Structure formats: structure tokens, C-alpha cells
Amino acid sequence: MQRSPWIGVPKNAKSLAMTFYDKDAPTGSGFWHWTVYNISVNTSSINPDFLPQGAEDANTDIGKPGYFGPCPPVGRTHNYVFTLHALDVEKLTPPTGATSALVRFFINQHTIAKTTLSVVAGPRK
């Protein structure tokens, strides 16, 4: 197996997953903007519009798969967290149409390492 171009991916990682979460969404539990899994460990970057071969989008908190970009309310900032998970399985197999929460459960059950990037977006005018 080739080493991952992302620095620090464990040698025993078999796939990757990425999540994008809004900690400040006014839901009481935040908002999941993106969950993508079954990313090859040989992937060096990811673009929501052009997923690597084999990667799959999970449903977001709006109930649809794909990427839902940041959208803080007018006049406010929100804190967002990207998390890259190294997984101990080559492929996750959640049920078709699984909720974002269920897919993240599968991800968390197989995470052997992870790293995060926190960003602040807003305020919109």
C-alpha cells in the first residue's frame, strides 16, 4: 500500500473520512454540513464537487448527500470544524439513505486517528 500524501496518516489506516461541522448552528446540537467516507489513503486533497473515485457522500443535516457550505446568519460568525478520520477498514457500508448521524457512528467506530482544522466564517452582511 502506498503512503498517504496527507502527513501523519497512520500506516495501518485503510481508508479516510472527512466531516465538516458547524458548532454554532442554532439547533442545540450544531449542524453537519458534510460527511464523506471511503476516501483512499492515497488521496492528497478533496473537493466536494469532484470526489475521489470510490468516495461517497453521506446525508447532511438537511437530509441530502453532498456538501452544504457555511452560511452563518447575517451579522454573526460561526465556528466550523473539518475533521479527517483515519479508519481501520477499507470500506464503510452504512445502509442506503442512512442519516448523517448513523454514518458518523460507523466512522467513529472505525477511527484509529483523526485531526481537525477549525475555522471561523462570517459575518455575512
pLDDT digit string (tens) for 15-37? 999 999 999 988 888 999 999 99
pLDDT of residue 3: 46
pLDDT tens digits for range 28-87 = 889 999 999 999 998 888 889 999 999 999 999 999 999 998 888 888 899 999 999 999
Is the entire prediction scored with pTM above 0.85? Answer: yes
pLDDT of residue 88: 98
E strand map for the chain: 15-22, 31-39, 56-57, 78-87, 111-121
pLDDT of residue 33: 94
d(CA 90, CA 15) in angstroms, rounded, equals 5
- Asked if 112 contacts 76 with a C-beta cutoff of 8 angstroms, the reply is no
Take residue 16 and report the three cell numbers written for it. 479516510
